[in-house]
Structure 1
Amino acid sequence: MSKDEAPRMHTAEHVLNGVMVARHGCGRCFSAHVNPKKSKCDYHFDHPLDDAEARAIEAEVNRVLSGNLPVFAVDMDRAEAASRFDLGRLPDDAGDTLRIVRVGDFDACPCSGTHVANTAEVGTFRIISHDFENGVLRVRFKLDAPAA
């Protein structure tokens, strides 16, 4: 399923990546499967998460989401983007002007997917499982509906 079909989940992926980078310095996920019902992100990591670490990540993602941050895109010259972001996952034909998606002042990265307009639209983030094998941490997550 395309990230274009799951804007709530895709926005949550951005926030999870920002939390993982800030808390663990592991870099953004190198692989993700984003679906409306559940998603997963894979990180290069140096140890398995214990349940306390997983709950702390979950709490931090939910803290950011509850901040009602605007989610928006800006265009950036590829050369400038290369000085600020890892462009390794972009296709070769991405062009000279890249779309940078920002989640308030919390996170920014090149992205072509669809997103909500505000983190208040995402809902509650829940890690449903995590495992570690051969230096790869996989985090699986779901979203509860946003408050009415």
Structure 2
Amino acid sequence: MHTAEHVLNQTMVQLFECNRSFSNHLERKKSKCDYHFNRALTSEEEQVIAGKVNEMLMRHLDVTEQIVGREEASAQFDLDKLPDTTGEEIRIVRVGDYDACPCIGEHVKNTKEVGEFVLGTTSYDNGVLRIRFKLKRPQ
């Protein structure tokens, strides 16, 4: 599940120069990611996001992990979202050459296992853009 979030987050960063999601809830049937944002998305932008996420998932990118020291990780990544109980070793998850970030969640070995990203709805309220989506199992 987290692999789709990684791809969506990197897509948002690239397309809109925003930060990664600050809150999310991930399940195969219904997921959401919240972003600090300054407006609602247009329907065209929604289509571009869904297209880019699916394009990256269909590239069959390997998903790998690497354990690094906290100091090394903090030099490259924002560690604020990690739980306080996280120790001195940080797991960095890489989705091919498309994304890398610290993450404690479960991941597939390859993006082909995720299936299709199906954008549900988006909403904007009080500086927060919410993107709702589900994942359609691969056939």
TM over 0.5: yes
Deviation track 1:77-131 (CA, whole Å, cap 9, x = no partner) reads 1111111111111122211110011101100111111111000111110110000
Q: 1:129 aligns with which of 118, 121, 126?
A: 121
2-structure distance, mates of 1:68, 1:33: 24
Q: 2:4 aligns with which of 9, 12, 16?
A: 12
Q: 1:99 aligns with which of 91, 114, 134?
A: 91
Task: State the 1:64 CA deviation.
Answer: 0.4
The residue aligned with 2:32 is: 40
Q: 1:62 aligns with which of 54, 59, 80?
A: 54
2-structure distance, mates of 1:17, 1:133: 19
Deviation >2 Å, runs of 4+:
none
AA matched with 1:130: T
What secondary structure sits across from 2:20 in the alignment? coil
AA matched with 1:62: N
Q: 1:87 aligns with which of 60, 79, 84?
A: 79
Q: Which runs of 5+ in 2 are unaligned?
A: none
Task: State the 1:38 CA deviation.
Answer: 1.0
Aligned pairs, number? 139
AA matched with 2:6: H
Task: State the 1:36 CA deviation.
Answer: 2.3
The share of aligned pairs that are identical, in percent, is 53
Q: Which runs of 5+ in 1 are unaligned?
A: 1-8
2-structure distance, mates of 1:66, 1:36: 17
AA matched with 2:43: D
Task: State the 1:56 CA deviation.
Answer: 0.2
The question of 1:49 aligning with 2:38 is answered: no
2-structure distance, mates of 1:57, 1:76: 31
